[in-house]
């Protein structure tokens, strides 16, 4: 004789558990996680947008309107965001370590053959490539300059409102450190980073050969020799802090 089916009352709260699962997951997230997400994602999206806009603007000034025709000569983040590099990688960094210096947006297209005759294609490529990292360095300088100004003339704007300090201070700290990191990271001579465009033409074949494996190389550097980025970031941060006679990097470095 077949055994009767198991009584349904053994699992009376299955639906309840499914209903409360999101709540239970939320309770496992650190209480300041959302704040850290905002403090990292907002500066990351802003900084990468300015970075790509700088590429497009410089190329346009040199006579190449490719990016403009493709809708990339804009400060709208929607035109530049790469879901993986702009959103997911920074989110993973926040979840795993609390902060991250790495992120990227959609590459800005350029057509060197469209540069004006006033510059060679090689010069145009180098100038356009440098525009992105330099825009990040400029954002870092503006961040610490604004912090220094507020500290001296509007100190109330920096007043602490929580255990981790003022939200304004946290955003400026993130903008400062993040943009120094993006400035240096993009100068790595590894394709498709901007630094690879600064290499002499005699290395074009090597760059092309490394290209398909570049992300593996970058991941190895980030995970096994992170000091190649963290040490120069700290040095530049200390230099700018000495120039502006203030301390902004805080616990980020």
What are the CA-CA distances from residue 70 to residues 78, 110, 113, 120, 222 (Å)?
13, 10, 17, 23, 32
Point out the residues that are catalytic. Answer: 52
DSSP states along 65-114: -HHHHTT-SS--GGGT--IIIIIIHHHHHHHHHS-------PPPP--GGG
Can you tell me which residue has the tokens 């593996």?
216
Give the SS3 label for residue 119. coil
Query: For residues 167 and 158, is the Cβ–Cβ distance under 8 A?
Result: no
Contacts 24+ apart (CB under 8 A), 28-33: 32/164, 33/94, 33/95
């Amino acid at each position: 004789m077949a055994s009767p089916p198991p009584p349904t009352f053994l699992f009376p709260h299955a639906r309840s558990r499914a209903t409360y699962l999101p709540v239970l997951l939320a309770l496992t997230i650190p209480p300041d996680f959302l704040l850290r997400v905002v403090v990292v994602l907002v500066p990351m999206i802003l900084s990468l947008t300015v970075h790509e806009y700088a590429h497009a603007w410089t190329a346009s000034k040199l006579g190449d309107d490719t990016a403009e025709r493709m809708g990339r000569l804009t400060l709208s983040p929607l035109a530049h965001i790469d879901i993986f590099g702009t959103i997911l990688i920074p989110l993973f960094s926040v979840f795993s370590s609390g902060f991250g210096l790495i992120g990227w947006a959609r590459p800005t297209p350029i057509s060197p053959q469209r540069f004006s005759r006033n510059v060679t294609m090689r010069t145009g490529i180098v100038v356009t490539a440098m525009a992105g990292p330099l825009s990040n360095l400029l954002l870092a300088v503006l961040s610490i300059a604004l912090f220094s100004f507020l500290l001296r003339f509007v100190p109330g704007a920096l007043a602490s409102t929580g255990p981790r300090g003022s939200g304004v201070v946290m955003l400026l700290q993130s903008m400062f450190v993040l943009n120094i990191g993006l400035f240096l990271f993009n100068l790595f001579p590894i394709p498709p980073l901007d630094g690879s465009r600064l290499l002499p033409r005699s290395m074009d074949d090597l760059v092309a050969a490394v290209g398909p494996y570049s992300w593996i190389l970058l991941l190895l550097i980030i995970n096994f020799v992170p000091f190649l980025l963290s040490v120069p970031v700290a040095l530049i941060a200390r230099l700018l802090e000495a120039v502006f006679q203030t301390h902004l990097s805080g616990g980020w470095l």
